């Protein structure tokens, strides 16, 4: 197989792994949430706690990823995580017990960390090792395709199947995705040089840069998780828009699919931090539009902006992490995701509690998410100054 053909095969493995781990195992819960509330007796506050438990699992997976340096062990855990993604999806259909659902959401969170962090780290390591451009835009299209695919599947199935049968159907889809996700990713190479003999050297950022970067990414986690978890329920609750939430979620996923490629191109021209600041500001508008507009047009516009930015920010951050640590990219990816994951535990639970106290309205959660994202944007501006200081300090001894 040619080098370009092998690159395509590896990227397809990554896309399938993200469709499975992020789309089926993790985000299918969002379009199915109104169905489960209507048919399975899932309450508003319990729905928020299930989302929070999912992120607890994700955070636990991120912690594990941040502690592992061995590429072979990462590869084994990546493959185990994808198997768990299928099992966790099936568990949602096997019972109507809240405890079983909570266990399912926790291990689904673990599996999504395996797909997103370990899988992404392995693929970025392969790209760098084979002298390909170290960008993840094509790979991260899998997240948007997973969101859009699950939204479309739920929209098509809801007329004919109940909530339980839909979870089983998604389990079958996940099983099919396992084949390329596991079979097309080559075993990892532990050597510290590329295929052309260039040394792969880690160049970590300064401690101050890392602290501010993690704080900004925490804010991005809050901004992301409220809309990503509750957007279907938010739109369905708006006057005259019952049943339109799945359409909005589909548009969100379709907007996310090509977004990472676009943000790679923007980052090449402006630099990663400038691209992150622009994405954060656009995401704030996307978060607020459904709450302020109260129309399908506003909700769809918000979905386009939100879908086109949230995964772009994740892709840019994880790409930066991989460039700082080319020999062990998942290590810094895991640390960054810990801050992102802490936000994803707290924000859904707070949003669910606020919604329960406001008659089921999620508006307060959206306003909170937008405010935190604004703080994160300010931190990214500060980070630019820290980066310039660090670069100047590195250049001084050489001068």
Domains, in order of start, for the chain? 3-398 (1.20.1250.20)
> Is residue 334 within 8 Å of residue 321, measured between CB atoms?
no
> Is residue 29 within 8 Å of residue 53, measured between CB atoms?
no
Which has the minimum average pLDDT: 132-136, 173-177, 374-378? 132-136
Distance CA 93, CA 108 (A): 14
Question: What is the DSSP-derived secondary structure letter of residue 300?
Answer: H
pLDDT tens figures, 223-274: 888 877 777 777 887 777 777 887 888 888 888 888 888 998 999 899 999 9
Question: What is the DSSP-derived secondary structure letter of residue 228?
Answer: H
pLDDT tens figures, 177-195: 999 999 999 988 766 666 7
Distance CA 95, CA 276 (A): 42
> Is residue 380 within 8 Å of residue 283, measured between CB atoms?
no
Distance CA 340, CA 213 (A): 11
What does R_g of the chain's alpha carbons equal in angstroms? 20
Catalogue the long-range contacts made by 266-269 (C-beta closer than 8 Å, 24 or more residues apart): 267/316
**Is 399's pLDDT higher than 50?**
no
**Is 328's pLDDT higher than 70?**
yes
Distance CA 286, CA 282 (A): 6
Distance CA 299, CA 292 (A): 9
Question: What is the DSSP-derived secondary structure letter of residue 185?
Answer: S
pTM reported for the whole predicted model: 0.80
pLDDT tens figures, 6-17: 889 999 999 999
> Is residue 57 within 8 Å of residue 106, measured between CB atoms?
yes
* Both tokens assigned to 288: 């607020």
């Amino acid at each position: 197989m040619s080098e370009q053909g092998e690159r395509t095969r590896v990227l397809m493995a990554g896309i399938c792994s993200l469709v499975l781990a992020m789309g089926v195992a993790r985000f299918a819960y969002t379009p199915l949430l109104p169905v489960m509330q209507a048919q399975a007796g899932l309450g508003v506050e319990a729905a928020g706690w299930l989302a929070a438990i999912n992120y607890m699992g994700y955070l636990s997976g991120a912690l594990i990823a941040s502690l592992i340096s061995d590429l072979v062990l990462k590869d084994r855990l990546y493959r185990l995580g994808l198997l768990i993604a299928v099992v966790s999806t099936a568990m949602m259909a096997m019972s109507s017990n809240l405890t079983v659902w909570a266990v399912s959401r926790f291990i689904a969170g673990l599996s999504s960390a395996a797909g997103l962090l370990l899988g992404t780290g392995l693929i970025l390591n392969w790209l760098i090792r084979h002298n390909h451009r170290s960008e993840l835009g094509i790979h991260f299209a899998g997240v948007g395709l997973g969101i859009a695919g699950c939204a479309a599947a739920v929209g098509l199935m809801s007329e004919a199947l109940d909530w339980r049968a839909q979870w089983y159907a998604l389990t079958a889809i996940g099983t099919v995705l396992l084949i390329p996700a596991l079979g097309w990713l080559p075993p990892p190479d532990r050597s510290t040089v590329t295929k052309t003999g260039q040394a792969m050297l880690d160049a970590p950022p300064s401690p101050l840069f890392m602290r501010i970067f993690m704080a900004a990414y925490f804010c991005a986690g809050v901004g992301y998780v409220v809309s990503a978890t509750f957007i279907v329920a938010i739109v369905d609750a708006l006057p005259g828009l019952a049943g339109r939430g799945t359409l909005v979620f589909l548009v969100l996923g379709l907007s996310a699919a090509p977004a990472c490629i676009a943000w790679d191109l923007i980052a090449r021209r402006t630099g990663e931090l400038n691209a992150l600041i622009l994405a954060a500001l656009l995401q704030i508008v996307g978060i607020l539009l459904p709450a302020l507009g109260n129309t399908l047009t506003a909700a769809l516009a918000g979905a386009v902006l939100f879908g086109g930015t949230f995964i772009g920010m994740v892709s840019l951050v994880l790409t930066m992490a991989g460039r700082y640590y080319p020999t062990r990219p998942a290590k810094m990816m895991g640390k960054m995701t810990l801050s992102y994951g802490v936000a994803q535990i707290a924000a859904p639970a707070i949003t669910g509690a606020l919604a329960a106290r406001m008659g089921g309205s999620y508006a307060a959660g959206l306003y909170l998410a937008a405010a935190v994202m604004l703080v994160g944007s300010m931190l990214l501006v500060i980070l630019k100054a820290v980066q310039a200081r660090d670069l100047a300090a590195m250049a001084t001894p050489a001068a």
